[in-house]
Amino acid sequence: MNITFVTGNKNKLKEVEKILSANPKISLSSRDVDLPEIQGTAAEISIHKCKQAAEIVNGPVITEDTSLCFNAFNGLPGPYIKWFLKELGPAGLTKMLAAFPDKSAYAKCTLTYSPGPGAEPVLFDGITDGSIVEPRGPTTFGWDPVFLPDGFDQTYAEMSPETKNSISHRYRSLVLLQEYLNKLDH
């Protein structure tokens, strides 16, 4: 099955390719399409993006929307993390929680699949619980330096790609997608 991953983020593309490379049933191509993002919940944003992508690509697509959710803020910044990160940087995200004793957070990947134009997209939410810490590790991939997954002593940024790709929110959503696609084959 050939699926187009619609993303302009080379780091996301690398992660998805690496995680899906073990599945011989899925052939992944990518396409950078500028999709306007609506405001709404992660699900609403993801469904809108996926429907647009399926129309443009005219075939099976996956889109992805990543959220970083602070429990002290009832899930915000959530799907708007990209804009917070752009304005504040990783250290600024940590400062947002300075006055709050609760530093717990979760990383959420809403992966959305559509078999093609006109089809209703299917959502796959992968969640990894953790906490927000002072930035540690390389700053090459978004908010990875401030997210410490539960049960680990390294931030996403400090982990090897293999370790991160075996526990991340993106990995978890891709597992759900693969399970769904495998059921379609039977």
**pLDDT bracket for residue 10 (50, 70, 90):** confident
Residues belonging to the binding site for ITP are 7-12, 49, 65-66, 141-144, 164, 169-170
The SS3 of residue 50 is: helix
Peptide bond into 138 cis (omega under 30): no
Q: Do the bridges between strand 104-114 and strand 77-78 make them parallel or antiparallel, or are there none, so unpaired?
A: unpaired
Rounded to an integer, the average pLDDT of 156-179 is 95
Residue 25: its pLDDT value, please?
83
Closest C-alpha among 154, 122, 135, 131 to residue 69: 131
Q: Which CATH class is domain 2-184?
A: alpha beta
pLDDT at 26 over 90: no
Q: What share of the chain is helix, strand, coil (3-state, %, to 5)?
A: 40, 25, 35
Two structure tokens written together for 184: 């379609």
Report domain extents, the chain.
2-184
Integer CA distances (angstroms), 11 to 43, 140, 141, 173, in order: 22, 9, 7, 16
Choose the weakest-confidence range: 14-28, 109-123, 138-152: 14-28
Residue range 95-112: mean pLDDT, rounded: 97
Q: Which residues are annotated as a binding site for Mg(2+)?
A: 37, 65
Mean pLDDT of 144-155: 98
Q: Once rounded to an integer, what is the mean pLDDT over residues 119-129?
A: 97
On average, the pLDDT of the chain sits at 93
pLDDT of residue 14: 87
| Mean pLDDT (whole number) for 144-154 | 98
> Mind listing the pLDDT tens digit for each residue in 74-90?
999 999 999 999 999 99
| Cβ-proximal residues to 88 (8 Å cutoff; 6+ apart), any chain | 95, 96
Beta-bridge mates of residue 123: 112
Q: What residues are designated binding site?
A: 7-12, 37, 49, 65-66, 141-144, 164, 169-170
Residue 186 has what pLDDT?
57
Record the tokens describing residue 165, joined without a space.
Answer: 């790709």
CA 148 remoteness from chain centre: 16
- pTM for the full predicted model: 0.92
The mean pLDDT of 144-157, rounded to a whole number, is 98
Instruction: Report pLDDT digits (tens) over 128-142.
Output: 999 999 999 998 889
| pLDDT value of residue 185 | 67
Q: With 60 as the cut, is the pLDDT of residue 21 above it?
A: yes
Q: Which residues lie closer than 8 Å to 141 by C-beta, 6 or more apart? A: 11, 156, 157
Q: Give Cα separations from 160 to 18, 39, 79, 155 (angstroms).
A: 13, 34, 25, 10
38 or 101: whose pLDDT is higher?
Answer: 101
Task: Please say if the pLDDT value at position 160 is more than 90.
Answer: yes
